[in-house]
Amino acid sequence: MSSEASTRAADTRAEARALSAAATTAGYAPSIHNTQPWRWSVSGDELDLYLDHSRALDVTDPDSRLAIVSCGAALNHALVSLTADGWDAVIARMPNPDHPDHLARLRVDRRIPVSLEARRRRQTVELRHTDRRPIVGTPIDADKLDAIVAAVESAGAGLHLLHPDQVYDLASAADQAQRAEAEDLAWQKEVTYWTGGTRPLSSGIPDAAIPDEVTRTTVPGRDFGYLGQLPVSGEHEDAAAFAILYGPEDGEADWLRAGEALSAAWLTAIELGLSVLPLSATIEVAVTRERMRGLLSGLGRPHLVLRFTTGDPASTAAPHTPRLPEAQVIERF
Ligand SMILES: Cc1cc2nc3c(=O)[nH]c(=O)nc-3n(C[C@H](O)[C@H](O)[C@H](O)COP(=O)(O)O)c2cc1C
């Protein structure tokens, strides 16, 4: 074999390894109720992402909007991994109009220098987790929020930071959404299926990640219908910032982009010492989704509400949720 051919063969092997590692990294992504509604296929120099309907939430998320947002977060995690391995990638989003569940195809394009920031970001992926505790901290510096807005914009979406009076509108809409959901027996059954001791193996939300008492927050957190085992302080959270993640339209491609931006925002926030809680109840219920649209005043269509708080260095980290074995979510050819 000529030296040129052997370099090419080595490059091909390195590309395949990087794509495989990207699919592994993507498994750390956040997802609605930790459903992990994605399936990856690694083959040659391509990595394909599919929506797995068998893990979508038929009652809470009938259009799969939040499942696709979750897949978008996984896609951004995959990209973080490739960048940390020194590869630039080309992404085709919704590459097959006849198969809307085929959400993206990634191909490695060329070698790029590896920066310390890129390596750090891949480590941040493993640190990230959802923290449902009300954190009593100092207000968040404006420059940190600006950095998060910039991260969202560079991922192709927008982030509208709510003014204090809009936070009361959000709180009232979140309350309305949670009441509507709690009255629906099918919704209760679904949330019970995905939480606590009844959840499927290696997915769902364990009791250890659900507050052990009703949290004192202006905007109510997700009502799981019961109390878990996550110790929370009884103090009122007063220094959180709330924002609406939005995009120009309200279709699958926009939800995917919103998920990519969610990941970019969340990883940036962690690196700035902040913690993040997605709040999706107002997006799940059509009437409150319209109220969120109203808060955007024509900027775009709402895809998710986010709460940012200053991380509390004195408190221990909330536990990580489990993940499905790779064999269940990654096909390697
Ligand atoms: C699209 C989306 C919506 C979510 N909505 C909520 C929510 O309304 N309330 C909540 O407590 N957590 C919410 N989460 C957080 C998930 O429950 C969490 O990501 C999942 O349980 C995995 O845990 P981890 O983030 O700690 O890895 C949401 C996550 C995503 C990606």
221 lines ligand 1 (CB under 6 A): yes
Q: By percentage, how much of the chain surpasses pLDDT 70?
A: 98
Render the burial of 127-165: b for 16+ CB within 10 Å, e for the rest: ebbbbbbbbbbeebeeebbebbbebbeebbbbbbbbeee
**What is the pLDDT, as a whole number, of residue 166?**
97
Binning pLDDT at 50, 70 and 90, where does residue 81 land?
very high
56 lines ligand 1 (CB under 6 A): no
pLDDT greater than 70 at residue 20: yes
Query: Which of 32, 57, 260 is the best mutation target for the ligand 1 pocket, counting ligand atoms within 8 Å of the beta carbon and taking the most?
Result: 32
Q: Could you read off the pLDDT of 202-260 as tens digits, one per residue?
A: 999 999 999 999 888 899 999 999 999 998 877 777 789 999 999 999 999 999 999 99
245 lines ligand 1 (CB under 6 A): no
pTM of the model: 0.97
CATH topology classification for 142-310: NADH Oxidase (3.40.109)
Q: Could you read off the pLDDT of 277-298 as tens digits, one per residue?
A: 999 999 999 999 999 999 999 9
68 lines ligand 1 (CB under 6 A): no
Report phi then psi at 21, rounded to 5.
Answer: -65, -35
Q: How far apart, in whole angstroms, are the C-alpha atoms of residue 11 and residue 311?
A: 41
Domains 3-128+324-332 and 142-310 share a fold: yes
267 lines ligand 1 (CB under 6 A): no
Domains of the chain: which residue ranges? 3-128+324-332, 142-310
Nearest ligand 1 atom, CA 209: 26
Cα end-to-end span (Å), the chain: 25
Taking the centre of ligand 1 as the mean of its atom positions, its distance from the CA of residue 297, in whole angstroms, is 26
31 lines ligand 1 (CB under 6 A): yes
- Summarize the confidence of residues 145-170 as an average pLDDT: 97
**What is the pLDDT, as a whole number, of residue 3?**
79
Q: How far apart, in whole angstroms, are the C-alpha atoms of residue 130 and residue 148?
A: 17
**What is the pLDDT, as a whole number, of residue 1?**
63
Binning pLDDT at 50, 70 and 90, where does residue 316 land?
low
Quote the longest CA-to-CA distance of the chain. Answer: 70
Nearest ligand 1 atom, CA 70: 31
What count of other Cβ atoms lies within 10 Å of the Cβ of residue 305?
A: 24
- Looking at 3.30.70, 3.40.1620, 3.40.109, 2.30.170, the CATH number of the domain 3-128+324-332 comes to 3.40.109
289 lines ligand 1 (CB under 6 A): no
152 lines ligand 1 (CB under 6 A): no
- Taking alpha carbons only, the member of 156, 126, 25, 129 closest to residue 78 is 25
Residue 249: Cβ-neighbour burial (10 angstroms; 0-12, 13-18, 19+):
exposed
